[in-house]
Structure 1
Amino acid sequence: MNTSTRPDLSDIKLGDWVDRFLPLTLRPYMRLARLDRPAGIWLTLFPCWAALIQASHGFPDLRPLIIFSLGALLMRSAGSTVNDLADRKFDRHVERTRFRPLATGQIGVPQAVMFLTGELVLAASLLLFLTPYTRLVAVCVMPLVFVYPLCKRFTYWPQAVLGAAFNWGMLMAWSEITGEIPAGALLMWLGAIAWQIGYDTVYAYVDVRDDARLGLKSTAILFGQHGKACIGLFYAVAIAAWSTGGWLTGMSLPYAVGMLVIAAYLGWQIWRLDLSRPEISYRLFLANILTGILLAAAAFAGTV
């Protein structure tokens, strides 16, 4: 690869809104929580909204919509903090992550742990507004949140663990609205996991050389040059699971049209993917925000 034309892949962009509008002491914490890079929040939120819409069989009430939106924000931020605490020594040697606050020493471990505690307390406070069953479902995700950052040390499948945790709100949405988690809801969740394995593998190709050098594992390293075919397979599994899950949850014909649109869009992503160009992988990772939007829109169309 011609590194002279390679763009800056660092995920910390100096001069952004954090630098312009926040005091110096707050900036590292906003970056620790990934509030300067909200892509992960949207990727968590839109599948959750899709589940709320399906479970409500229409546009959900404002109360659960607000609670689950805040929950997505807080838990994604807490998960990012846990991840940076676990990976702070590795992050210093990875091009994309070398300027993160814990990697550079802008924040110490004690301060990060205190910040994480605050995030978790705020997230836990939202459980007071949910049913006892949903609280139980919510608590069950916590082992995944704390295990995920360690997975890349011993398994090539950290993306699967992340997908299960990232999309846990889909299960909580059904438990809150209907009091149960039916088979169709489980299939929608499994489809979201397959989708995330796909797009997070795309993301992992940005770091694949650094991860291999550091002895870390990922699906990108496992798939190697077969990445396009493997990612395409997981996208196909996602479409199949979402289509079947939608049918089991009573979605109408427009939902099937939405699945065709999503299938075409994911197919375009696979066609566009170039495993040797990290900047394209990064852009295609971000493109999946639209996939989430399309999923929520298909769910809404399926209830009309």
Structure 2
Amino acid sequence: MVSTVLKDHIADRCKQYWLLARFDRPIGTLILLWPSLWALWVASNGKPDIRVLTVICLGVILMRAAGCVINDYADRDFDPHVERTKQRPIAAGKVSPKEALWVFVALCLSAFALVLLLNIYTILLSFVAAFLAASYPFMKRYTQLPQAYLGIAFGWAVPMAFSAQTNSIPLLAWVMYCAVVLWALVYDTMYAMIDKDDDLKIGVKSTAILFGAYDRHIMAVLQIIIIGLLTSVGQMAHLGAAYYTGLVVAAGLSVYQQKLIFNRHKALCFKAFLNNNYFGMVVFLGLMIDYLLH
């Protein structure tokens, strides 16, 4: 009897921690993973070191999960008042804030253990990554640009991938980093448009609120800049037709996303956010095919 109760308790804890880390919603992991793969493929000329590739991919999974956990911890007083988030484990009272902090620490330590398999340069950069991941959730209290800060945090996978593969961070890497920062700003603004009404009520800041009636226009300009920066990456890396074909498709997806958010319907804004997974994927496919054809 005691054994059954204990097993049920452990199973429930595992389930709640799984939900807390958003392992049931891989979209965030995929959107973070694509730029990491862009960077690794360019840094390695299409032939990434298997150990580096494995560590970067697993690190992305763990740090995205850690980011979700600390985000819910930071928003524990806000989430119960937002329709989309009120059933999250902490907001629903199924996981205590103290438990969440332990889960966050465990995920970060696991990611750090992986990074120890890489060079010193990348290990040092991992401390910046951890700081960005831990501090991002609190930015919505102090700045109207938390989505830009998310971009800075998510994009940090780019210089880390270059440093892990080549032990250096060339100018090309920083151009790609800027593209990723702006890309995250765009897709997270689409996401923030869903919660705009609730955020206004509870006093949470976001670019969706800051941009106001010009949200679509500003995002359109940013999307053009992103394609421009990625084009510059292609020129600097001497990439060919397959890569640029991927960028053309990515530009088409950006136009489609603009169509989805045109009337700012919440369901369509969420669909536009999800569509960014395909944006990241087609850029990577263009890269991969281009290097295979070389």
Normalising to structure 1: TM-score of the pair? 0.90
1:107 alignment partner, SS class? coil
In structure 1, runs of 5+ residues without a counterpart are: 1-21
Separation in structure 2 between the aligned mates of residue 25 and residue 116 of structure 1, nearest angstrom: 14
Correspondence for 1:278? 266
Q: Map of 1:197-212 to 2, 5 A cutoff?
A: 197-212=185-200
In structure 2, runs of 5+ residues without a counterpart are: 1-9
The structure, 1 or 2, with the larger RCO (C-alpha pairs under 8 Å, 6+ apart) is 1
Correspondence for 1:181? 169
Aligned-pair distance for 1:275? 4.3
- Structure 1 position 79 matched with structure 2 position 67: yes
Does the CA-based 8 Å contact 1:188-1:246 persist in structure 2? no
- Structure 1 position 88 matched with structure 2 position 86: no
- Structure 1 position 111 matched with structure 2 position 99: yes
Off by >4 Å, runs of 4+ in structure 1: none
Correspondence for 2:240? 252
Which range moves more in the overlay, 132-141 or 81-90?
Answer: 132-141
Correspondence for 2:159? 171
Paired letter, 2:43: A
CA pair 275-143 structure 1, distance change in 2 beyond 3 A: farther
Q: Map of 1:140-179 to 2, 5 A cutoff?
A: 140-179=128-167
Separation in structure 2 between the aligned mates of residue 175 and residue 250 of structure 1, nearest angstrom: 20
2:189 alignment partner, SS class? helix
Correspondence for 1:36? 24
Matched pairs, number: 283
Aligned-pair distance for 1:296? 1.0
Paired letter, 1:28: Q
Q: Which residue of 21, 39, 42 corresponds with 1:51?
A: 39
Separation in structure 2 between the aligned mates of residue 43 and residue 110 of structure 1, nearest angstrom: 29
2:116 alignment partner, SS class? helix
Separation in structure 2 between the aligned mates of residue 276 and residue 193 of structure 1, nearest angstrom: 23
Does the CA-based 8 Å contact 1:205-1:281 persist in structure 2? yes
Separation in structure 2 between the aligned mates of residue 31 and residue 167 of structure 1, nearest angstrom: 24
Which range moves more in the overlay, 143-152 or 247-256?
Answer: 247-256
Q: CA RMSD in A?
A: 1.4
Does the CA-based 8 Å contact 1:47-1:295 persist in structure 2? no
Aligned-pair distance for 1:115? 1.0
Paired-residue identity, %: 36
Separation in structure 2 between the aligned mates of residue 110 and residue 268 of structure 1, nearest angstrom: 42
- Structure 1 position 217 matched with structure 2 position 205: yes
- Structure 1 position 100 matched with structure 2 position 88: yes
Separation in structure 2 between the aligned mates of residue 114 and residue 271 of structure 1, nearest angstrom: 42
